[in-house]
Structure 1
Amino acid sequence: MQRIAIMGCGGSGKTTIGRQLADLLGTHITHLDAIYYDDQWNKMDAEKFAAVQEELVAADRWVIDGNYAGTLPIRLKRADTVIFLDLPALTCLWGIAQRRWRYRGGQHDNTGVYDRITWGFIKYVWGYRKDMAPRVRAMLAEHASHADVRIVTSRRAANALLADLKAAGR
């Protein structure tokens, strides 16, 4: 476990799990939101975003959290471990609400997370399992057959996965 790609719906816990795994591996975590968006929430050019990810995955060790289906194959092809947080919409919405309460809005700790909760974002979260999860699963099948793929469907399962990985000293 040297190169870990983490994906899932907003509020699923990508950053939390990513931080813990990066600490376990003695490396840093890269939050794709922090790369893709600037301080004014402007998006990076698609080609540049892909090129940045190509550079990131060329390293020997990394933990990267983020979705971005258009560039997901870049991460999947190089990852040796993939964690897909496929949690229920209500769990993710609760995670978003907790995050908002904890940070009181605004940009958070260089994670790229910004409490920009819009109706469109809520609809995206609500429909993620129906609309995005099948696409992610198809990309996992196509680009990550070589990797240890973990599909996590609850907070309890996520905590158990972390506990197992820590116990194994990985």
Structure 2
Amino acid sequence: MESNNFLYVYNLVQGYLKHVCQEPALELTLSKPAQVLRKTASSLGQEVEESLRLYLDSLEITSVDDARRIFGQVMETEFADGNINWGRILTIFLFGGILTKRLQGCGVPLTKENMDQISHFMTDYIVNTKAKWISENGGWDNGFVTKFEDQSSWLSLHNVKSKVMAVFSFFSQYY
């Protein structure tokens, strides 16, 4: 069961990162959670990136190891209070996508190996620290999709944006 969960999340992460990097994918082959993730994160991601442009431009990421380290530090800060909700789960994807695009912007080629490594450390984080909460809160299909599929739920995305901005603000003190 655990390996199936890892593979499911890994495919969700990898599909999202490919979307962020604008690699074509057949919409018909996407699971409902993958479709909702792309739609929700895309609408929020552009706004978050624009708001964080100055900070992101100063962030030099020269390797996947840099991205892994920064990702871990930001996630530690993001979840330091012990609270988990679907908006915060979404921030994991948003931040991973932002780091991936930043790697690309710093001249690091997004080879299959690099994308696999990024997908792997993001998946490890989700599966090892959030899988129980995700399962207890409806899973990807009944929890995540239900939360973000309905347009009226998108009002909570403002709270996600505010949280991401606060984490970046805190993190920028150290980089």
TM-score grouping bracket, smaller chain normalisation: 0.3 to 0.5
Q: Which of the pair has the greater relative contact order for Cα pairs under 8 Å at 6+ separation? A: 2
Larger strand proportion of the pair: 1
TM-score for both structures, normalised by structure 2: 0.33
Larger helix proportion of the pair: 2
